[in-house]
Chain A
Amino acid sequence: MTTHIQPRLTQVFRFVRCSYADGVAELVYGFDHGEELVERVRFPNAPAIPAGHQAAFEQALKLLHLIAGVSYYKAGVPPRIEVVDGPLDATTADLLDALYLHGLAEFAYRNGLDLRGRIAFPRSSSPSPLRGDGRGEGPISPKLNLPARTLVPIGGGKDSLVAVEAIKSISGEATAVWVGNSPLIAACAERTGLPMLNIQRELAPGLFELNRLGAWNGHIPVTAVNSAILAVAAILYGYDSIAFANERSASAATLEYEGQQVNHQWSKGYTFEQLLGDWLHEHVAADLNYCSLLRPYSELAVTRAFARLTPYFDVFSSCNRNFKLLGPKPADRWCGQCPKCHFVFLALAPFLAKPRLLSIFGRNLLDDENLAPGFDALLEYQDHKPFECVGEGAAARAAMYALSQRSEWQEDTLVARFRSEILPQLDVNELALEPWLLPSGEQRIPKRLQPALAFFA
């Protein structure tokens, strides 16, 4: 950076331009009059954009530009947002306002910022060029007759593997797709046996420089960015559906802070799923469906389904700490210290033979007294819920209660502690596991994929 910009004092964040050629999307941003920040997204073996799909592709690319900007915007959080090629229509501006506000809520909380009233994407006062100012009243984009096949993003954890197996169970055609170069995810994707698509995202090098200069830092709604990348991919390669694996608890707020709901995984929640799904129908293609296949289910129900998928046990990991590295030992995949490790361990325990579960993690997290604070936080005992993608505290309590009733678990340090210290303060009637295994009605899974839900029965 030639000028010594101070990220936290910037005034304007600009969406400069975006373009696509030869499988590479270039997304360009800037602060004030600083140097351009250029992000590149690489689509491998990209075919030519199919005839008649050009308009849809451009819409999807534009959305990707707007959504991926969140990684850069957050560096300075300036008071003004500028879109160089003109203001947005109302639905698009609504989507982005919501995403930047809620998707950055945890970031704001951690940094002691208040983004309310600060985020306003420019919107045209004239009616949307596409259709009035209406919203959610049904698709107005044409059908593109996209092929009946599904992009399934793989995350390396259990959820996406369950989604894969559910689609396989109805002989659905699908591709395992992931963004970035995690060897762990690659190993999981390979184990699915599906065709694979690995898209690369290269953050603008200038972002690291901004960080060095004292930029704000923290959690961004990465699922939204990946969703937008997959929307572009769906049009480019030809898929009629993108099936994420976000379960229903992702919609729950992790904490309330000065009157604002803070959800660590807002972009995995149902609100965002609806907003983006509708937007894609309206702006991109009437037959491009964006959904989460696990939406009707709780983490526990998903975990129970996963407990049957033995072939994945030695490759998967939901741990956030050791994510970028891969090794043959359980300790290479599971740090055993983070809330994710704790939750997945606890949620799998009621559904797997104890020695099998312990062989996955390489140790018994419930027999380690040092981990008491972590499990307490999961149970929402003496603490608020930790900021990680985990299920509701009540689900954790149900799982812990189930273990406390089982002889092979009840003498383990933390289970014994639960029985003597925490259980007496709880209402046993609210601790049943079974209700967690029932689906809820909230979902927008397209008709073609509905039969896959039988997999969870």
Chain B
Amino acid sequence: MKFGGTSVATLPRWQNIRELVASRRAEGARVLVVVSALTGITDALKQLCAQEDKGKRIEAAKAIAQRHYELLDHMQLAVPDTLAARLSELAKLADEGPALLGELAWSALVQAHGELMSSALGSAFLSHSGLPTQWVDARDCLAAIALPNQNERTKLLSAMVEAKPDPALNARLAAQGEVFITQGFIARESQGRTVLLGRGGSDTSASYFGALLKAQRVEIWTDVAGMFTANPRQVPSARLLQRLDYEEAQEIASTGAKVLHPRCLSPLREPRVPLLIKDTNRPELEGTLIGPEVREHAPSVKAISARKGITLVSMESVGIWQQVGFLADVFAQFKQHGLSVDMIGSAETNVTVSLDPTENLLDSDALAALASDLAKVCRVKVIAPCAAITLVGRGMRSMLHTLSGVLAEFGQLRVHMISQSSNNLNLTFVVDENVVDELLPHLHELLITAGALRTDDSALFGPSWQALYGTGEVLPPAASGWREERRADLLKLGAEATPRYVYHLPTVRQQARELKSLAAVDRLHYAVKANTHPAILKALAEEGFGFECVSPGELKAVMAVVPESAPLLFTPNFAPKEDYAWALGTRATLSLDSLYQLEQWGELFRGKEVVLRLDLGRGLGHHEKVRTGGSGSKFGLPVEQLDAFLRLADTHGVTVRGLHAHLGSGILDDGHWGEVYSQLASLAERIGSVTFLDIGGGLGVPSHPGEARLDIAALDKVLREVKAAYPHYKLWMEPGRYLVADAGVLLTRVTQTKGKGNGQIRYLGVDTGMNSLIRPALYEAWHEIVNLTRLDEPATALFQVVGPICESGDVLGTDRRLPEPQEGDVVLVAQAGAYGKVMSSPYNLRDEAEEIILD
């Protein structure tokens, strides 16, 4: 059992260790505890080593001693002899200085005292509290080996140990007792000098001991429950990995996870000793068990990680790569400048290598010198800052077919290098660093959606980090809860006639009220294109919403049902001149989005106040077709034409009263709107007449079960912050789908079934399809599909749920696990409240779906 610096720094933490050790004893195990130095002591010892003044060294040693006295005091223990001996030795070393032993050997011995002292102290505490504990000098057990590449520094300060099972040591310890404590981080070399194990040293010590003793298990106790499918700081929904094999774990540790140093796994592999990572504060959590076994389960991506600060050196030359020894010379340059190469990608005329961020790379001239040497033999290009995004999982190649959606995401980026290791464990993409923070959570989500990261296998994947450690309160349940409550009504409606859309007004109101809780937002407009049913318009008008319309038809439909006082926005796109002329006669606020409108029809708008819709130059959203920003999209005035627009506006006496941007739909990242607002605000500051900023809608609605909802409280916080920075603008939003998607369902009935390919592929036909709900065909949108008639029966088979339209794209859902259906069963397609009925068509001249309101 290994405990780190913070775990041994206070009395309560030692009491915790005592309990954990006692619980292992109770299971009948003999326990060896490996400890680090008290927090801060190793740094203090390093500073002592760097101190040239003898007096100050002695002072430093005294301060270090004092830390240990204080802890003993808390423990109400006298200074044990073992610790007293260490302290006086440290005082002696401080007094002597490095002259006698040599700088490095002296320094190693001084630093080793951190662990020597903490273990002596721990031995006293555990023994005194009823667990007789033997103190073991790690240096008597761990023998450092000499390696060919070592210099004196690495030999003494980052040594390696060859840890083969040693039955003699086992027997020796067995004769002494049941509980032992020893030091992490230190060993002894062949001349008898004390050496250090370098970075990750204490975990590595624990592994060495595990291998030497062929332990039942090595336990690393730390401040988190184990390894996750992604860095939880970047992806809060990352899941705990409960089982990994050594190679996978080592790959994850090497490519990003900080919880374990990759070094500490290799000693355990041969003796097949499992390693368990546990959370000291939450011992009840299962943790991550790393072992030899590859269990029987489908291949799955285990983790996605990103390493930032990567620098690529691309070397281009025609035809000389084949020259014998050329590459050797090139790599010799890297060695000479002290830069170590990580990944390598090569083509006939180009070799590109990656360098990890090191002090040498960041703050010396090493790279400049390397580049100028390389430039003598080839064209050099230094590409940075990059990030390596790595997917880790055993059998990566067999998963490639599931990754198409993930790979498509990379298609939009500058990918500088792709590397797949021959051990079939990883797939790495090197991309520009600035895309990573947004990309990673997105890819993690995509991996789950694509079935590449099989989070449905509860043997492998534990709870999400958010669920285990997340701060904010648990998010409220999704807005689809009404389907349970009104199941009987829905069944009855479905049995009467299908296809039918059913809308639940209380859910619309509930969503509306949730958005009204955004205190920073001054005005909300419902984007009526999502659903123009009069009852919904009326309900939202009662909630105080304004309405955003994109056509005269929508404006008329809205004006027919909402009161005069409800604000209206008219936001057409590539509409004919008559639309604008007509809308100017209504009370709607008009939105312009191109130079053409002022260049050609400028006088039409004279004396009017307008909103200017801008394209901020990038788009977001869940599908290419719903992104509405970026030059690939037809919406908005490009920012670079803003000045020209303002000049035209001045010429025609048009006042720009508001700025508007809308980047896309289905956005679940709360930070996004803050960015849009601040970008709009910085543009608005150049335009005195602007009084409001409209940051659009696009509030995402999660579709997959368990997918994180948009965090309204977090969004509120973001908006308050940006609002505080620009208090003089009113903030407007235009949500659509968020208000109505979950409030509506499409009811349809089973018509017939079919099997193909020896029954491997089963089709379940229903009485409507893309004619009623085109989103799956158009956007590959995922809608939950439920057999309402058989809700309580086990879902046993996989079905392709298809409609009756003569198009092979008429599929409502693929690979859905559902109960065995019967003709006439009522099937519910969820989240059909938005862009359902409004996008339906008479294609194939099938009857259109009726709309029913539940209140």
Contact = CB atoms under 8 A, between A and B. Distances in A.
Interface of A: 208, 211-212, 214-217, 310, 321-322, 324-325, 329-331, 353-356, 358-359, 362-364, 367, 406-412
B503 to A, nearest CB: 39
Interface in B672-700: 674, 678-679, 681-682, 686-689, 691
B431 to A, nearest CB: 11
11 contacts: A211-B688, A212-B691, A321-B682, A325-B721, A325-B725, A329-B434, A353-B365, A353-B368, A354-B311, A359-B309, A408-B367
B157 interface: no
B362 A359 contact: yes
B385 A355 contact: yes
B797 interface: no
B368 A406 contact: yes
Contacts of B314: 411
Contacts of B381: 411-412
B689 A408 contact: no
Interface stretch (B136-144, B370-378, B483-491): B370-378
Contact of A355 (B384, B434, B728): B384
Contacts of B678: 322, 324-325
The A interface, classified by DSSP as helix, strand, loop or mixed, is: loop
B371 A211 contact: no
B379 A353 contact: no
A211 B685 CA distance: 10
Which of A215, A217, A356, A363 counts the most chain B CB atoms within 10 A?
A356
Contacts of B372: 406-408
A324 B684 CA distance: 14
Contact of A353 (B364, B433, B687, B726): B364
B380 A355 contact: no
B200 interface: no
A234 B372 CA distance: 52
Contact of A407 (B380, B721, B725, B726): B380
B309 A324 contact: no
A408 B368 contact: yes
A71 B15 CA distance: 65
A139 B674 CA distance: 52
A419 to B, nearest CB: 13
Interface string B344-381: 00000000000001000111111110111011000111
Contact of B728 (A208, A324, A407): A208
A407 B434 contact: no
Interface of B: 309, 311, 314, 357, 361-368, 370-372, 374-375, 379-385, 432-434, 437, 655, 674, 678-679, 681-682, 686-689, 691, 721-722, 725-726, 728
Given A321-B682, A359-B309, A408-B372, 11 more contacts: A211-B688, A214-B689, A324-B681, A324-B682, A329-B437, A354-B384, A355-B367, A359-B385, A406-B368, A408-B368, A411-B381
Contacts of A330: 434
A364 B688 contact: no
Given A324-B678, A325-B678, A407 B385 contact: no
A384 to B, nearest CB: 15
A82 B721 CA distance: 40
B738 to A, nearest CB: 25
Given A324-B725, A324-B726, A363-B434, A407 B374 contact: yes
B635 to A, nearest CB: 20
Contacts of B722: 325
A404 to B, nearest CB: 13
B362 A331 contact: no
B380 A411 contact: yes
A330 B309 CA distance: 12
A354 B383 contact: no
Contacts of B371: 406-408
B414 to A, nearest CB: 10
Contacts of A211: 688-689
Contact of A362 (B365, B382, B434, B721): B434
A217 B688 contact: yes
Contacts of A407: 368, 371-372, 374-375, 380
Nearest to A313: B362
Contact of A214 (B382, B655, B681): B655
A355 B311 contact: yes
Contacts of A358: 311, 384-385
Nearest to B675: A325
B422 to A, nearest CB: 29
B309 A408 contact: no
Contacts of B379: 411
8 pairs of A and B residues whose beta carbons are closest in the complex? A407-B371, A217-B688, A408-B371, A211-B688, A411-B381, A407-B375, A324-B725, A407-B372
Contacts of B682: 321-322, 324
A353 B385 contact: no
A452 B686 CA distance: 39
Contacts of A216: 688
Nearest to B728: A208
A179 B689 CA distance: 25
A227 B633 CA distance: 47
A312 to B, nearest CB: 14
Contacts of A208: 728
Contacts of A331: 434
A358 B357 CA distance: 12
A212 B432 contact: no
Contacts of B357: 355, 359
B146 to A, nearest CB: 34
Given A324-B678, A411-B380, A355 B688 contact: no
B366 to A, nearest CB: 8
A211 B688 CA distance: 5
A217 B655 contact: no
Contacts of B688: 211-212, 214-217
Nearest to B657: A212
A322 B678 CA distance: 8
B437 A356 contact: no
Nearest to B385: A358
A356 B726 contact: no
Given A212-B691, A217-B688, A355 B374 contact: no
Nearest to A411: B381
B387 to A, nearest CB: 10
Contacts of A325: 674, 678, 721-722, 725
Contacts of B434: 329-331, 362-363
Nearest to B360: A353
Contacts of B686: 217
Contact of B363 (A215, A321, A353, A362): A353
A364 B361 contact: no
B725 A362 contact: no
